[in-house]
A and B are shown apart, each in its own frame.
Chain A
Amino acid sequence: MSHAPEDRGREGPAEAGAHPLDGLPEVSARRPALWLLLVPAVLYCLAPLVANRIEPRVLGVPFLLFWILAATVISPLVIWAVTRLDPAYRTGAAEPLPADPGAAPEGTEGGRA
């Protein structure tokens, strides 16, 4: 099946309005900050391993509960730090998808078709 070049790979029904990806930059830089997103998982997974006890109590809160509470407060701060370090966030870029390289190759497709 063939597309008019202006379809830009939209197989689905024509949606009203501008294409949502219009004007979004692509990000090609590496994004090492994404590794920080593992911090929340590590914090919670450590809870039953290193914090499964009542003492010491922190401000009266049993240690395990304190650990989980702390993880719940620290996690969004870590995710916030990721946004500060992530070039995709700072430029508002679309997410790079290895299985779907996106607009740039598609743009050249009009010439091939």
Chain B
Amino acid sequence: MSSSAAIATTIFGLAMVATILIGVLSARGRDKGLSEWSVSSRGLGVLFIWLLMAGETYTSFSFLGTAGWSYSFGVPILYLVAYLTVGFAVAYVVGPAIWTYASRHGLISIADMAEHRFRSRPVGILVAVIATVFLVPYIQVQIQGMGVVVNAMTYGSVDLKVAAVISFVVAEVFILVSGLRGSAWVSALKDVLVIAAVVFLAVYVPMHYLDGFGDFMHRMVAEKPEWLTFPGHDSAGKGGTWFISTLLLNAVTITIFPTTVAGYLSARDPNALRRNAVLLPWYQLLLFVPMMIGATALFVMPALGNPDLALFSLVTDSLPAPAVAIIGVAGALSAIVPMSVFMLAIGTLWGRTLLGGGNGADPRSRRTGRTPADDVRTKRLSQLVCLIAGLIALAGALFYPNTLVQLSVLSYEGLAQLVPVVLLALFWRRMTKAGAVAGMLVGLAVVVALWASGNDPLYGVNGGIVALAVNLVVTVAVTLAGPAGHQRVPQPTTGTTPASATSKEAP
């Protein structure tokens, strides 16, 4: 092992120990119940919500894929900034809406919400299973991303698979012990490192390799103009239509991602979320830096075998080992934080709705969790699923690195099909269970059919938005065709307002 590698590996090891300590200690003196583990007892203020949700948006894809897309395609990567920013505008309404519904009824996940809204545990189970199918590959992508980052930052001395196992162990330890609060605290460490690393790189890289930022832009225009307008360089159909449809689809979908929802539900009050809709978009400015560095690599290393390494190749090429290590730790934590929240979200989806007997809103299911012992049991089940989901993703990363990752391409398109059942259901009182389920299943069928037949994007339009349109049409048609009033339980007619019909299960 060279001395550079030794230094980098040592710093990486220390950082992982620090991560575990911060994550584990954050839960000291806290409640032991499920709602503390899943949604931090709904007690986080503006700062921690910001740290947590910024931490979720800046993933290992930001260091790897963002630079890689910029290197390979050019401007199509701007969809990332576009949908995140538009997503925060959507979240100004959606975040408080989901928070209000879930807090009012003591709910902890989108499956829990769907079960309650439609008074049907099978609907909740369906939502939980579909969300899991599209989230597990995402965890695997993060594990593999971590492997790539750690391998690059230690100059190849830590094996990809060893790094994958380390990331899994670190994330599981603090998420199992501390839950979402652990992720929020580790996010604080991560966000500091990411901001420092990225701001430094923004100044350093153009100065080191070129004559500053002006020269970089000048050379891009002169030598690589194809990268600077849609559809970009060799981007396989990622033109303007793809950009618009993808940004709209993802902007809405990210607001109901189970991980985003975990962030919403941990808020102390709705204004913490509204304020964050103003604050979080500023963080996205950081994403322009890996894009610029990826493009800079075009001039420095025109024949990179793996474009995803565009950023780390420049970093290891130009900086001393300690600096490489710190940037690498920022990249590694960018995998660990989202990974931990994804695993937590899956645990939360399953713990109560599937394994814990539901939330009691379905008249046919037994009521659980009313006693502290029940609550702890549900939490244990959630933690178990959190561990199993991580193990499946780890096994995928180690043994089938390409199979599940293909599915992650469909994550947004698949989860988008949950938008009507989770979100529209809060705003459209008439919406029925039959409509929600039919729309969701048809939408998923369209996603899979378009993808399997190679028609995604369809004439340049993101297949997910086509599927969501079909989904919405079916949802509306089936709802309107069915009997009005979805409440199976007869309502007393004495209520002065018909609105109270859906407000809770009837006495």
Q: Which A residues fall within an 8 A CB radius of B?
A: 1-3, 8-17, 19-21, 24, 34, 37-41, 44-45, 47-49, 52-54, 57, 60-62, 64-65, 68-69, 71-73, 75-76, 78-80, 82-83, 86, 88-89, 92-95, 97-103, 105-106, 108-109, 112-113
Contact = CB atoms under 8 A, between A and B. Distances in A.
B67 to A, nearest CB: 16
Interface in B458-505: 492, 494-497, 499-500, 502-505
Given A94-B100, A101-B497, A76 B106 contact: no
Contacts of A69: 288
Given A64-B228, A75-B86, A101-B497, A12 B41 contact: no
A11 B116 contact: yes
Contact of A47 (B243, B268, B502, B507): B243
Contacts of A112: 492, 494-495, 507
Nearest to B500: A105
11 contacts: A24-B269, A48-B239, A52-B229, A60-B217, A62-B221, A64-B230, A75-B86, A79-B89, A95-B96, A101-B497, A101-B499
Given A11-B505, A40-B85, A54-B221, 20 more contacts: A13-B106, A13-B359, A13-B370, A15-B42, A20-B268, A39-B89, A45-B244, A45-B247, A65-B78, A68-B82, A72-B85, A75-B85, A89-B274, A97-B101, A99-B426, A100-B426, A105-B499, A105-B503, A106-B503, A106-B504
A27 to B, nearest CB: 10
B218 interface: yes
Given A52-B229, A60-B218, A76 B281 contact: yes
B389 interface: no
A20 B374 contact: no
Given A48-B239, A53-B229, A11 B360 contact: yes
B97 A105 contact: no
Contact of A40 (B86, B99, B100, B270): B86
A110 to B, nearest CB: 9
Contacts of A68: 78, 81-82
Contacts of A99: 117, 425-429, 431, 502
A67 to B, nearest CB: 10
B500 A101 contact: yes
A61 B274 CA distance: 32
B90 interface: yes
Nearest to B359: A12
B225 interface: yes
Contacts of B239: 48
B86 A44 contact: yes
Contact of B359 (A11, A38, A109): A11
B145 interface: no
Contact of B278 (A17, A24, A83): A83
A97 B244 CA distance: 29
Contact of A93 (B78, B89, B270): B270
Contacts of B214: 60
B247 A11 contact: no
Contacts of B337: none
A78 B268 CA distance: 24
Contacts of A38: 89
Given A97-B101, A99-B429, A10 B494 contact: no
A91 to B, nearest CB: 9
A65 to B, nearest CB: 7
B96 A94 contact: yes
B298 to A, nearest CB: 15
Contact of B247 (A17, A44, A54): A44
Given A12-B106, A13-B106, A71-B82, A79 B88 contact: yes
Given A3-B507, A21-B103, A72-B81, A13 B374 contact: yes
Contact of A57 (B35, B221, B229, B497): B221
A86 B270 CA distance: 13
B278 A80 contact: yes
Contacts of B248: 41, 45
Interface string B359-387: 11101000111100011001000000000
B303 to A, nearest CB: 25
B92 A82 contact: yes
A54 to B, nearest CB: 5
A9 to B, nearest CB: 4
Given A17-B41, A20-B269, A48 B244 contact: yes
B220 interface: yes
A64 B428 contact: no
B31 A83 contact: no
A77 to B, nearest CB: 9
B284 A72 contact: yes
Contacts of B240: 47-49, 52
A74 to B, nearest CB: 10
Give the one of A14, A54, A57 with max B CB within 10 A: A14
A64 B116 CA distance: 45
B97 A71 contact: no
